[in-house]
Amino acid sequence: MTRTGSTGSLVILDPTDETTADSRTALERPASLDGLRVGLLDISKARGDVFLGRLAELLAERGVTVRRYAKPTFTKPMPADLRRQITTECDVVIEALAD
């Protein structure tokens, strides 16, 4: 869950531990995906892979470089090593939630 803080920064509330909310500034969205590496993150909920598969096809048709990732389970936060990998390999990330 997110909300805007009093300073205009983005406040991210972690449902696993809301004792200390992170405060981050949202990055500006790119005007185009041309030349960017797009990561598609499946959080391992039912049919998220189907949605991301179709999205990967549509992006590839437009010449966008796509990389696929999956969390081991939706019930736990993303492992730190996967987060680091995505951060170093992608410019933008799309996360899929489905049921």
Lowest mean pLDDT across 13-17, 46-50, 87-91: 13-17
Q: List residues bridging with 66 in a β-sheet.
A: 38
Residue 69 confidence (pLDDT): 96
pTM score above 0.75? no
Q: What is the CATH number of the domain that holds 86?
A: 3.40.50.10860
Q: Is the pLDDT of residue 25 over 80?
A: no
Same domain, 15 and 60: no
Q: Are residues 2 and 49 in the same domain?
A: no
Question: Same domain, yes or no, for 18 and 8?
Answer: yes
Instruction: Please tell me the total count of domains within the chain.
Output: 2
Arithmetic mean of pLDDT, 69-73: 92
Tens-place pLDDT, residues 88-97: 999 999 987 7
What count of Cα atoms within 13 Å lies in the side-chain half-sphere of residue 21? 12
Averaged pLDDT of the chain: 84
Tell me the sheet residues that pair with 61: none
Rama region for 80: left / alpha / beta (φ>0; ψ in -120 to 50; rest) = alpha
Whether residue 58 is predicted with pLDDT greater than 80 in this model: the reply is yes
Identify which has the larger pLDDT, 97 or 81.
81
| pLDDT at residue 14, as a whole number | 60
4 has a pLDDT exceeding 90? no
